Amino acid sequence: MRVAAIDCGTNSIRLLIADAISMDADHTTATYLNDVVREMRIVRLGEGVDETHAFSNEALARTFDAADEYADIIRRHGAEGIRFVATSATRDASNSELLKRGIHSRLGVEPDVISGEEEAQLSFAGALSAVDVAEDDTVLVVDLGGGSTEFVIGTRSGVERAISVNMGCVRFTERYLTTDPPRLDDVTAARAEIRAMLKSVAEVIPFEKVTKVIGVAGSVTTITAHGLMLDHYESERINGAELTVERYAAATQSLLTMTREKRAELGFMHPGRVDVIGAGALIWQEILMRVREDSHGRVTHASASEHDILDGIALSLASRVTL
């Protein structure tokens, strides 16, 4: 069957059209995705939401323009079902009904405004759909978005615990990293808040049990591209790439000390991430340092995955259509 999944986040809106294929193995049925189309538009839907708690007319217009494009793409490729998932910014916005009505009129479906916990579970399913994980691995999947970050821990058997916190690259850029390049005092203040939030996360997620870390979404894949010293964005090299905590730290320091102009010149950098990548990298570095500390040095590397909540949405939709 052919399904269309849309992930509407704080910074970007993404589309995956895929053929979902069910296969039997080891007395169980598993569903795999065969990509037909993947698209992304940076619309910055959550611009200003941290301060105003409402979507701006401009942000809604950008999002609706992207939805119009996606509606046309979906029509051309055909799909047995569409699922539109909205996350952090929509949870926070007082005028989210405007988004819901606009999306319904364009795509014919009601947006699912999901909880942070469901967001984490979908990210976990998507990440593990394309990464080899050992039976005895305890995996931490981190979905670092624009408005929130989801932490989910589990094994190949499924999710054990999950939490979502309001810590994302757009939110922290607007709160702290407003100069070009960011001031040291502002970076220090951002680090302090990230560490305080991670302390709360650690009360739910047992970092000390983690054996493998997988990071998903644009901030992680972009900083991975920088850590790999790519001169352009190469999905094949980024997906599954494993870097040391130290290498991620060096890439973060490089991005935080660059001017906006220098970041924009990086061949792998999407124009819509230029302003927010420093905050995203800072959050990712602090997460890895906390996990390494709590695991008593057992976790020394982290992997990046191009497969994330978008794949999880498609899998969940395939499951619904099958039922």
Mean pLDDT, rounded, of the chain = 92
Question: 127 and 216 in contact (C-beta within 8 Å)?
Answer: yes
Residue 82 CA, chain-centre distance (Å), reads: 20
Q: What percent of the chain has pLDDT over 70?
A: 97
Classify residue 14 by its DSSP letter.
Answer: E
Whole-prediction pTM value? Answer: 0.86
Band (pLDDT 50/70/90 cuts) for residue 323 is very low
The answer for residues whose C-beta is within 8 angstroms of residue 227's C-beta and 6 or more apart is 243, 247, 248, 250, 251
Confidence check: pLDDT of 276 > 80: yes
Q: Out of 76-90, 94-108, 166-180, pick the least confident.
A: 76-90
Q: Which residue's entry shows tokens 């670092």?
A: 144
Q: What percent of the chain has pLDDT over 90?
A: 76
Per residue in 156-188, pLDDT (tens digit) is 888 999 999 999 999 999 999 999 999 999 999
Please state, in angstroms and rounded to a whole number, the distance separating the CA atoms of residues 35 and 264: 29
Question: 255 and 277 in contact (C-beta within 8 Å)?
Answer: yes
Per residue in 195-227, pLDDT (tens digit) is 999 999 999 999 999 999 999 989 999 999 999
Per residue in 135-164, pLDDT (tens digit) is 899 999 999 999 899 999 999 888 999 999
Q: Out of 99-103, 294-298, 313-317, pick the least confident.
A: 313-317
Q: What is the pLDDT of residue 19?
A: 94
Q: Hey, what domains does the chain have and what are their CATH numbers? A: 2-116+309-322 (3.30.420.40), 131-305 (3.30.420.150)
